Amino acid sequence: MPRPRTVSDEAILDAVRDLAHRIGPARLTFAAVAAEVGLSAATLVQRFGTKRDLLLAADKRSVDLWVDALDRSTATSPLARIVEGLVHAVGSVATPELMANSVAMLQLDLADPDFHAETLRGAREVRARVERDLSAALDVGELRAGTDVATLATLVETTYHGAMIGWAIHREGTLADWMREQVEAVLAPHRPAGWRHPGRSGDDVGGDRK
């Protein structure tokens, strides 16, 4: 009978993702991962094969967590679910250094067809979830009548990707706050006339990024 695994594959892959963000995928080794999870490098090789196989498995896991983040919000407002979901999705990237190493992973995602297939899967699922909540927002009157939700979903997704790089360059506040501001700015012109940002008592912000 095989011995029970003391550390799950999911826990190992989460450690690989976190380590890749801290030191970059190029410097990641089986020995480094083994030290993180308390297993031998030989055990990791036996489970996952090559370093590429390990990184690809971690990439698949990361994509699943990325997509699932958009379903974590408990907000009753469809637009709030979008904003909070995209903020949740960047929760593991707290510093510009982590962002730099995340971009190094993105280079791998863009250069290797198998990694790219996973990233594309995730991006399409994220966009689909955004479009789902935009459609719900249109139905309950949170968006102006006639809003093209498919086009807006693409714009929101594009804003999400760009906001991460913009924050890493400007380094103003936290990534979570920056992401929230950018996504709200994209949504604001599509809200009904007279909508006010929660907590603000100023003029109607439709069309205004503040």
- CATH number, position 163: 1.10.357.10
The pLDDT of residue 207 is 33
User: How long, in residues, is the chain?
Assistant: 210
Q: Residue 43 domain-assigned?
A: no
The pLDDT of residue 3 is 53
Domain limits at 108? 59-190
Tokens 């809003």 belong to 147
To the nearest 10°, the Cα dihedral for 16, 19, 20, 23? -160
Residue 1 has pLDDT above 70, yes or no: no
Q: Residue 28 domain-assigned?
A: no
* pTM, full prediction: 0.85
User: What DSSP character marks residue 74?
Assistant: -
The string of pLDDT tens digits covering residues 158-204 is 999 999 999 999 999 999 999 999 999 999 999 998 766 554 433 33
Q: Residue 123 domain-assigned?
A: yes
Q: For residues 204 and 45, which has the higher predicted lDDT (pLDDT)?
A: 45
Q: Residue 65 domain-assigned?
A: yes
Measuring CA to CA, which residue among 165, 164, 155, 162 is closest to residue 188? 155
Residue 178 and residue 49: Cα distance in Å, rounded? 39
Residue 93 and residue 12: Cα distance in Å, rounded? 19
Residues in Cβ contact with 107 at an 8 Å cutoff, skipping those fewer than 6 apart: none
The string of pLDDT tens digits covering residues 77-105 is 999 999 999 999 998 888 999 999 999 99
- Report the interhelical angle of 51-69 vs 41-48 (nearest 10°): 70
% of the chain exceeding 90 in pLDDT: 84
**Arithmetic mean of pLDDT over the chain:** 90
Distances (CA, A) of 17 to 51, 103, 184, 196: 13, 13, 29, 39
Q: Residue 8 domain-assigned?
A: no
Say if residues 177 and 163 touch (Cβ distance below 8 Å).
no
Structure tokens that stand for 68 in this block: 């699932």
Q: Residue 52 domain-assigned?
A: no
For the chain, the domain total comes to 1
Return the amino acid letter for 22.
Answer: R
